[in-house]
Amino acid sequence: MFIKNKKGDVRTEPISILGLEIGPGVFLLLLFIAICVALYALFFNFSGINCENSAEWKQVNEALTKIDNQEVGSIDIQFFNKGCYLIGFSDPSYNQYSPVTRGEGVGIKPQICLCSLEEIRCDAQYCKKFENIKIIKDLEGRQLNTKIFPQYTTLKLTKTGNELLVTSPYASNLN
């Protein structure tokens, strides 16, 4: 609708796009985007690594904490070793060959992390930093990497001095 006056025509109808008013249209678009982002965050991992065995981390972390706090000298735990693997990072002063590098936010303290070798990264939320352990190794003295262990395995964690040895009785013939 146009109103005519001496100074020109004035449009009194709001501008519309496809029959929708601009204000409500923008609001509905933003609402749709917010709902999509919320659903994505609810059902998918927004950050970090995607591991089918990430539920194992709580048990592993508890065992590692007992070892580091010197509550026990050795402990055995069951571990579902698929999707992501436990990787050990020793004190940098220990000259240990490390084919897997630390991810962002992981830091330089000695630690064991649940890492995705497919993505070649570790997530700090799945890392246990040690206060009383400097060297983390496998039976051969290499950087701990449970990729060589069977899918269903028992991990034997043994602390001697400032060293943590992680072995699996089922991995002796897998090298």
Domain-wise residue ranges, the chain = 2-43, 54-167
CA pair distance 31, 97, nearest whole angstrom:
51
- Asked whether the predicted pLDDT for residue 133 surpasses 90, the reply is yes
Chain-centroid distance, C-alpha 136: 20
Confidence class of residue 109 from pLDDT cuts 50, 70 and 90?
confident
Tens digits of residue pLDDT in 53-75: 888 999 999 999 999 999 999 99
Cα angle value 143/147/86 (rounded, 5°): 60
Contact 123, 48 (CB under 8 A): yes
- Of residues 136 and 92, the one with the higher pLDDT is 136
Most confident of 7-21, 31-45, 148-162: 148-162
Q: Return the pLDDT at 100.
A: 66
Q: Return the pLDDT at 34.
A: 73
Contact 157, 166 (CB under 8 A): yes
